[in-house]
Amino acid sequence: MALIEIRKRCLTIETQYHEGGPVAGTPLRQAAACAVIRNPFAGRYEPDLLPFMAELRSLGTQLATELVETLGREQVETYGKAAIVGVNGELEHGAVWHEAGGWAMRQVLGEPKAIVPSAKAVAGVGYRLMVPLHHIHAAYVRSHFNSMEVGMQDGPRPDEILFALVMGTGPRVHARLGGLTKEQVSVHDGQR
């Protein structure tokens, strides 16, 4: 039996031109690809979640590919991931996305080294979650610390999970707080 049964998917794209200051020369684009699936473990404890995590790589690849096709692979500078587990599940059912979603984004983007930031929650239908974002090559690039909201009005239902991947094309609009810049990334350890 397949562990992934998709009920619904969505793609959300935001384009930000300014934050009250001058209009950016290049607008910031962020996109979130989400899928709501049946939770195969809702209402029961499953000691071995590794097969589910492995099977989720294919869903991660679909969502990551959709984001790259939307934003352009060479334009992607930030990423993040999230899971919202319906109330008949447990947080660990969303934690499987750490490896599956993160692996998929790295594969599609050409193996960037920075950890993929994440958020997860167990919540009711319509819950919204802020997904943290940072630079794909160096987590300490301060200008790229950002977030994007994900969620669906009719999900996740109690026996479902919403999985999300988010990518963006650059720093915050009007970022001006110093710190490591993307041009200064040199260590290539995923941090600096």
The number of domains in the chain is 1
What span, in angstroms and rounded, lies between the C-alpha atoms of 151 and 164? 8
> Is 147 inside a domain boundary?
yes
Residue 169 in domain:
yes
Q: Distance between CA 176 and CA 179 in Å, rounded?
A: 9
pLDDT in tens, 24-51: 999 999 999 999 999 999 999 999 999 9
Judge whether 192 lies within some domain: no
Cα–Cα distances in Å, from 15 out to 18, 19, 50, 64, 131?
10, 12, 37, 19, 17
Separation between Cα atoms, residue 103 and residue 118, nearest integer Å: 13
Q: Name the residue among 177, 78, 161, 79 with its Cα closest to residue 125.
A: 161
Q: Does residue 112 lie in a domain region?
A: yes
Q: Return the CATH number at 120.
A: 3.30.1330.110
Q: What gap in Å lies between CA 119 and CA 16, rounded to an integer?
A: 23
- pLDDT level of residue 118 (50, 70, 90 thresholds): very high
Does any domain span residue 104? yes
Q: Considering the domain boundaries, does residue 97 fall inside one?
A: yes
Tokens of 76: 């992607």
- Please give the share of the chain, as a percent, with pLDDT higher than 70: 99
In a domain, 189, yes or no: no
pLDDT for 94 beyond 80: yes
Domain residue limits at 168: 6-184
Half-sphere exposure of 61 (CA within 13 A, CB side): 8
Question: Do 28 and 73 form a contact (C-beta atoms < 8 A)?
Answer: no
